[in-house]
Structure 1
């Protein structure tokens, strides 16, 4: 009897277990079931959002470009989304350090060459060598990688670059009795032409300036002014980053700037954007600038038709015996507080690719790639402007000073000395000596 009860119990238990198991897989008509996630089939995860801090999405010229690059990237990388953190150009550096103080710095941060030293020499940006392959990093111009490095660590990847060249207004050349197809070849020719143009007036009697040099007291204008210090052979750096300053040449450089004020050739305390506005209005005969043709065309109100009224040329020759300029590089870094550095690295890889930079070219922003494998691509070399940029950068460009915790301060010191020459009657020897003392203390 006991054995029978035992058999019945076993049978009933088995029946209950079978029924329970069957109930778990029973489907009603028309219904479907999805298998539970397994170790080999993880559940779908939400896309990773990479916050990208830049001034590009805020500006009329570049907003559609950044949006196009973002759209194309997200199509190719469905698991990564980009969220813009848009900050005006002039506030970028300060805002980055404010975010970093609360450990909320966006994952990817774009920077201008003049404040990149403050980023890479601080601890707000993480080292990048471990996030990118050797093949990827070896594809960049060595000098560009050096500009984004500090103490042997890469902390900023170069996105693109543009050299400083000479813009000249052909219509004002004609009015001043100059050949509109013959830009100046030397500094002396340039100053002579500038004096003639500065005698002109607009129809409403407003001043027309012969030459524009950016001289506002900012680090980026200090970096741009290095072109003149190099051209007068006043400043040089050796391979170890030590500075050499020729006092007599430094005085000559300051005398050049003072002459612009004394002869009323140039506007005072001008930012690069101020010069672009004057040039677009037909009130500036010549100016030194990066190849910002799209911005100038927009400001003129004439679009690409305005390009018929101006030309671009290599920087005129001075004491060095050949054209000599500097370039502006734009960089991308990853915040030290980023929780998704691998995904941020993928964003950077895409933004330095041919596909991304081609979007700038298509919108008349003729940047030069910093990657060797795409520099020779016809996309970046098929217009006269692009060819001139390439010639200026490859053949007649000076390297940026080695990164230093106080390099940005040095840029401000340099442009401060320029302003002192322009706005005071102080002896130029005294100004030069003061600058020499500051720079040699930074680059001992």
Structure 2
């Protein structure tokens, strides 16, 4: 009898503690997993080192291209000057999955918002940054809207952010009899405008004109591409539904009011006025409107056919259309998150020094300008550079954005939705309603594993 009472009391205590371990952030609740020794708070002695006291090698992994160039030119020389006994190298993230599988993770990684920090935190791969005694000072300098807690910890520092808007070719608008100063506000208006532009005659060189365009070849490149479609989906339900419930334990995109079927229906009709791939892109000057233009694409305007395209002159910028007039125009909140992969206390502390260095005001501002991103630091919000006519619409849109959900399975579920997109939008083999039904079934099977 005594043993049964002990068991009963233990069970009650377990459930009580478990219930207290639910946290809520941006309407997301998560089960909290306790940190093990690798994430314990640092001692005062570990925190009081001078820059010259640090030594060793450090690897920073970033996306290939401009990020690599920026780090080599602007970060490595200055960081190594401040930390003379540290050797900093930079690598690209093309083989990250392979390296993680082999237990050869980089020290610091600038990944994407949302699911990546959640996925690596859940698997115990990255450091809870709250272990560092001065972490609060770093996070206090960052706008709250960009900070998300996962598993009762802060596992990444939001380095920069971006969002997506619609851009359109003002000249093609005029040629199609549309007002270039009055872009489509609703999806219905968008489709009408796309049809008119699509009916324009071929150019002198024989090239066709299209009403819109989608990056369809990326549908098979992995779940990351969902971040370039999700802003359309959000505006089908006035930003009320993403993919998962508040706990990340089930999907909600199959609810009738989520309107995932309407998202597929719209994309199917819009595809009639689009080329099959991005081989013909907006910068060819043959595309009327593009719903997937991120702030980071600005540099591509300089590479437009013939001569650079300029926002305000031959390119218009507008919010993503909505289902009904008066609805809020939503978009995605994406960006780069700095994570530290777990190794040993000494290496992790050195990695944290690099994270703080990257969040210095001057370095952060220079990075945002060079990489075409928007700032997360409060001290940079009012910098004139981010209030220029071509930048301000993106800054204003940040007020109505939704972060990619911090669910480890997001990439896999997004990939399922993209496969259904191919079947219902591109190949038209199944109805939008059937596509949602099949995607929901597959997603739930995935979450049960």
Q: TM-score normalised to the size of structure 1?
A: 0.76
Q: Distance in 2 between matches of 1:362 and 1:352?
A: 14
**CA pair 429-101 structure 1, distance change in 2 beyond 3 A:** closer
2:197 matched to 1:191? no
Q: Secondary structure at the match of 1:235?
A: coil
Whether the 8 Å contact between 1:168 and 1:310 is mirrored in structure 2 is yes
Give the match for residue 246 of structure 1: 255
Whether the 8 Å contact between 1:118 and 1:408 is mirrored in structure 2 is no
**CA pair 235-66 structure 1, distance change in 2 beyond 3 A:** farther
Give the match for residue 295 of structure 1: 299
Whether the 8 Å contact between 1:170 and 1:311 is mirrored in structure 2 is yes
**CA pair 119-300 structure 1, distance change in 2 beyond 3 A:** farther
Whether the 8 Å contact between 1:109 and 1:332 is mirrored in structure 2 is yes
Q: Distance in 1 between matches of 2:54 and 2:225?
A: 44
Per-residue deviation at 1:208? 2.3
Give the match for residue 223 of structure 1: 227
Per-residue deviation at 1:188? 1.6
Q: Distance in 2 between matches of 1:74 and 1:97?
A: 28
2:136 matched to 1:127? no
2:62 matched to 1:59? no
Give the match for residue 24 of structure 1: none
2:336 matched to 1:326? no
Give the match for residue 45 of structure 2: none
**CA pair 304-349 structure 1, distance change in 2 beyond 3 A:** farther
Query: Please, which runs of 5 or more residues in structure 1 have no aligned partner?
Result: 1-41
Cα deviation per residue 1:32-82 (whole Å; 9 max; x = unaligned)?
Answer: xxxxxxxxxx9x878433211112xx4258724652233333344434342
Cα deviation per residue 1:254-308 (whole Å; 9 max; x = unaligned)?
Answer: 11111123xx21233x4xxx37x71111122211221134331343267765444
2:58 matched to 1:50? yes
Whether the 8 Å contact between 1:111 and 1:332 is mirrored in structure 2 is yes
Q: Distance in 1 between matches of 2:67 and 2:354?
A: 21
Per-residue deviation at 1:379? 4.3
Per-residue deviation at 1:165? 0.7
Whether the 8 Å contact between 1:61 and 1:294 is mirrored in structure 2 is no
Give the match for residue 349 of structure 1: 356
Structure ID, larger Rg: 1
Give the match for residue 313 of structure 1: 318
Cα deviation per residue 1:207-232 (whole Å; 9 max; x = unaligned)?
Answer: 22211234423212223322222211
**CA pair 64-96 structure 1, distance change in 2 beyond 3 A:** closer
| RMSD over equivalenced CA pairs, Å | 3.0
Q: TM-score normalised to the size of structure 2?
A: 0.76
Q: How many aligned residue pairs are there?
A: 381
